[in-house]
Amino acid sequence: MYNYNFPEKEPATYDLIEPGYYVVQIENVEERETQRGARMLTCTYRILGKIEHGQFLKHPGNLIFHNIVFPLDYDEPDKAAFMLDRISNFLKIIGEPYKGKITINQANWPGKELAIKVKHQEWNGDTQHAVHYVLTKEKALEITSQQTGRDTESRAPTNTNPVPDSDTSSTQIGDRGNEDDINNEDIPF
């Protein structure tokens, strides 16, 4: 048996974060390991605001988590390249070294700001919010300034070249064809 004195108030409820673009600040980074044994850094982001129609709107400060998974030596080359590209893009956005042989020092990350695209996904029968991809605040403002109405809803890009996604929260990106033919929603950064 265990006795504990809980506050005399109703517990907080946590609603789904609606799909869209948000400015976040890295609050914490935890080193973990996936079920497959891959190194993973779990970032806790505090949402500072939502970006809609090119405007920054204040937000109540919800938390959202983002898993950054490093490839294993035996991962397929295409999957490993995809994962490393996502990690490199993240590092570039937060102003950390991202080219060549580097030392990743996640202790430098808390307090840094970036933008994220939030989507909804099904997991074990529940709808959950997830970080779809990261981008600069400027890019998120640019993308949303071109959107109207239903364009701000979450859409996953068409996937014609699947990349296995067993350990990551990232969405698979397929062959985009001619760069002039892509929609801003298809840009993973």
**What is the tens place of the pLDDT at every residue in 17-29?**
999 999 999 999 9
Cβ atoms within 10 Å, residue 117 = 24
Query: 7 vs 42, which has greater pLDDT?
Result: 42
Share of the chain above pLDDT 70, in %: 76
Contact 115, 22 (CB under 8 A): yes
Q: Cβ atoms within 10 A of the Cβ of 167, count?
A: 21
Sign of the C-alpha dihedral computed for residues 152, 23, 120 and 186 taken in this order = positive
Winning range, highest mean pLDDT, from 11-20, 45-54, 168-177: 45-54
Model confidence at 183, pLDDT cuts 50, 70, 90, reads very low
Check residue 11 and give its pLDDT: 67
- Alpha carbon 74 to chain centroid distance? 25
Higher-scoring residue by pLDDT: 27, 181:
27
pTM greater than 0.85 (yes/no): no
